[in-house]
Amino acid sequence: MSTRAITVMTHGRPQETSAALRELGEMAAAAGALLTLDADETAKHPLVGDVAGLAFDTPAAPGAELCLALGGDGTILRALRSYARTSVPVFAVNFGEVGFLSTVEPERMREGFARALAGTLDVLSLPAIEVEGPAGSHVALNDLSLHRKVGGRVAELAYGIAGDEIGSVRCDGIVVATPAGSTGYNLANGGPVMAWGVAGMAVSFIAPHSLGARALVVAPDDVLMLHNSSRETLAVSVDGRPVGEIAPQQVVRARFAHDIAKLAQMDGSSFYRRLREKFGRLSR
């Protein structure tokens, strides 16, 4: 019988995750599974000697049954992007600050991973935003943002649907978020929080220079057009990562896409409980 493969992705502070990696490797070995680390992950975790359940310098297995992410939301998003449009779910242990997308906190790591190995976790399908423009084609699982460069002038961004302009706002930038991403940059802008399961894109403005700028939610079948009406080139970011630029008078298109990535979840894990626990904890 072939060994079950589970790929591993961790954040950039291996001193925080190496012990957990060793522990989960032992659990995987007992269940007939193997945690595989590619060259980059192997360089992060110079564990000495043979470690049960861990395979080093191993390319990501195309037949992996699970992706294990140890880190914060950035690491989890990287894992989700890597397995977008596949059936491989991401099981995430929060070793970050907020970890809104995480499956479990470290204290419940063993319980959750045992469930993952047994195949008894719930799997949530996450939507994304398909982005097309001068910076190429991208998939945003959290958000797309257009924003002025450091030292640049205030941006002017027009936005519309099906050829009809909705408005034009002078601002530092604009953010288009998925429901999962609505609790990130969008929330910081005062944009609407969208519960998981809601279909649509939240649009909010970064430091708008207008009393009339209002956030909105775009219907899932509508294509949102973002037009750079500024005199300067703006930066384009996807999930917080710079991906290119948009010159004056150029356009970026954003459309909602269903069921792009899979996230493993514990039973009874509700969006509203997660919202209270994650953000309520930070406000104390």
What domains does the chain contain, in order, with CATH numbers? 4-121+266-283 (3.40.50.10330), 128-258 (2.60.200.30)
| DSSP, residue by residue, 194-224 | --TT--SEEEEEES-S-SS---EEE-TTPPE
Among 104, 76, 66, CA closest to 11: 76
Compute φ and ψ for 119, nearest 5 degrees: 75, 30
pTM: 0.88
Chain centroid, CA 114 distance in Å: 24
- Least Cα distance to 127 among 163, 94, 80, 189 occurs for 80
Backbone φ, ψ for residue 204 (5° rounding):
-140, 165
Spell out the per-residue pLDDT of the chain, length 284, in tens.
Answer: 467 899 999 998 989 998 999 999 999 999 999 999 999 998 888 775 678 888 888 877 667 899 999 999 999 999 999 999 999 999 999 998 877 889 999 999 999 999 999 989 999 999 999 999 998 999 999 999 999 998 888 999 999 998 888 989 999 999 999 999 999 899 999 999 999 889 999 999 999 988 878 899 999 999 999 999 999 999 999 999 999 999 999 999 999 999 999 999 987 677 777 777 777 654 44
**Three-state DSSP state, 136:** strand
Integer distance in angstroms from the first to the last C-alpha of the chain?
51
Q: Which positions are annotated as active-site residues?
A: 73
- List the one residue out of 126, 129, 128 whose CA is nearest residue 271: 126
Distance between CA atoms of 73 and 66, rounded to whole angstroms? 17
Cα gap 95→79, rounded to integer Å: 14
3-state SS, residue 138: strand
